[in-house]
Amino acid sequence: MELADELFDGTKSAAMPLIRHDLSLSYAQVGLLAAVPLLIGGILELPVGIASGTGKRRRRFILIGGLAFAGSVLAVGFAGSFAVLLIALTVFFPASGAFVSLTQSELMDSASERQAQHMARWTLAGSVGAVLGPLLVAAVLASGGGWRQAVFAVAAAAFLVWLAVVAVGDQHLRRAGQVQADEDAGWPGWRAAVGIVRASGVLRVLLLLQVADLLLDVLTAFLAIYLVTVAGASPSVAALGVAVRVGAGLAGDVLLVRLLERCDSRRVLRASGWLALLLSPAFVLVPGLGPKLAVLAALTLATAPWYPVLTAELYGGLPGRSGLAVTLSSGAGLIGSLGPLAVGLLAESFGLSWAMTALCAVPVIMLGVPAGRSRPPSPAMAGRPVSGTEDSDE
């Protein structure tokens, strides 16, 4: 599911110049296509986590969300106007929340002692999809097709994933989801939920997730512009820089899967923070495009643990409340969407070079704010030399 989700995102991003030309979109309309689905779709996604519950009810949400997921992608392929495209992309956000985010929460519920390891694999699947998206567009165009054919291919893949969920879902539900349904007390009510969140300490994790995104997605969003306007690269070299970023991200996710089988996840997170503290200013200061791209690749490798480990901490801090974790993540994401705007305003006022320099503060915050409270090892992990979550010293 995560691969299909990122496959569509990568395909859409690579095909956007073709979509703009085909539908005669203005730059303002392109901006609205990015902002409106994120805002409205994010708001619509908010209640999905708490409304879905667990067990069979959650599975119904996943199946309905999967149909809406594939249907919205199909609608993008058929879109003949800006309005239809905007509606389809807006529907995609809550559909993805029901189909993808609830499946993620189900995965976290089914293996609470290995959440960091499973999140690393989940992130790796998404990275594969992000890489395959532009390659799919390039392959379709090389074969004489257009952007619509590429989107239709993603829609077909999404329907296949949905059919796979239908085929194997009952078995998984009996094995994991229904057990969790017996343990989960359901939605505790707003006042009780606030108490649970405050007692769990997950607000710090939510803060760190949004801060970390400044050196993850936000850096990627401004990377090509930075390389052209500040580093003096040509557009083709800037595109190569983005490819280096994506490729290093995929390599980092592969390495993280193996690393978390041998090392404690919180130690890995802290070590990555120290590496980023050295590499983020080096990326801004090092002269020459070659060395700058080399530092960029190293920085991307260093920050690979941030999203999967912190997300695992979020679920681990709310045992039996994965639906609440999904809703909190959606709400924090709405606030975090102001990050690109803040960087843009900073660049507008002081220049993009200073805005990128400001991102060097991210590792300082990551190291200064603890990710969460330590948890004792679970009985399932007793006697193992390695765990993805426990560390009583930190």
DSSP string, 31-65: HHHHHHIIIIIHHHHTTHHHHH-SHHHHHHHHHHH
Q: What is the pLDDT of residues 29-45, one digit of tens each?
A: 877 787 788 778 778 77
The pLDDT assigned to 180 comes to 47
* Mean pLDDT score, 206-233: 86
Mean pLDDT of all residues belonging to the chain? 81
Q: How far apart are CA 363 and CA 279, in angstroms?
A: 10
- The CA-to-CA distance between both ends of the chain, in Å, stands at 34
351 φ/ψ angles, rounded to the nearest 5 degrees: 105, 150
In the predicted structure, residue 368 carries a pLDDT above the cut 80? yes
pTM of the model: 0.75
- Token pair, residue 209, equals 């997730």
Specify whether the CB–CB gap between 181 and 56 falls below 8 A: yes
- Determine the 3-state secondary structure of 384 from DSSP: coil
- How many other C-beta atoms can be found within 10 angstroms of the C-beta atom of residue 380? 12
Task: Take residue 108 and report the two structure tokens written for it.
Answer: 């976290």
List helix spans (H) across 260-320: 265-285, 289-303, 306-316
CATH for the 202-372 domain, from 1.10.260.40, 3.10.20.600, 1.20.1250.20, 1.10.3720.10: 1.20.1250.20
- The average pLDDT across 244-271 equals 90
- Asked whether the predicted pLDDT for residue 392 surpasses 80, the reply is no
The fold of 2-184 is Growth Hormone; Chain: A; (1.20.1250)
Fold equal for 2-184 and 202-372 = yes
Alpha-carbon gap, residue 147 to 149, rounded angstroms: 5
State the average pLDDT over residues 335-358: 84
Q: 357 or 115: whose pLDDT is higher?
A: 357
199, burial (CB in 10 Å: exposed 0-12, middle 13-18, buried 19+): exposed
Reported confidence tier of residue 192, pLDDT bands at 50, 70, 90: low
What are the φ and ψ backbone dihedral angles of 181, each rounded to 5 degrees?
Answer: -60, -35
The domain spans of the chain are 2-184, 202-372
Exposure pattern of 214-253 as b/e (b: 16+ CB <10 Å)? Answer: bbbebbbebbbebbbebbebeeebbebbeebbbebbbebb
d(CA 202, CA 196): 9
Question: How wide is the angle at C-alpha 268 spanned by C-alphas 339 and 292, nearest 5°?
Answer: 55
- pLDDT tens by residue, 140-165: 888 998 899 999 999 999 999 999 88
Structure tokens at 364: 């300082």
For residues 63 and 26, the answer to whether their CB atoms sit within 8 Å is no
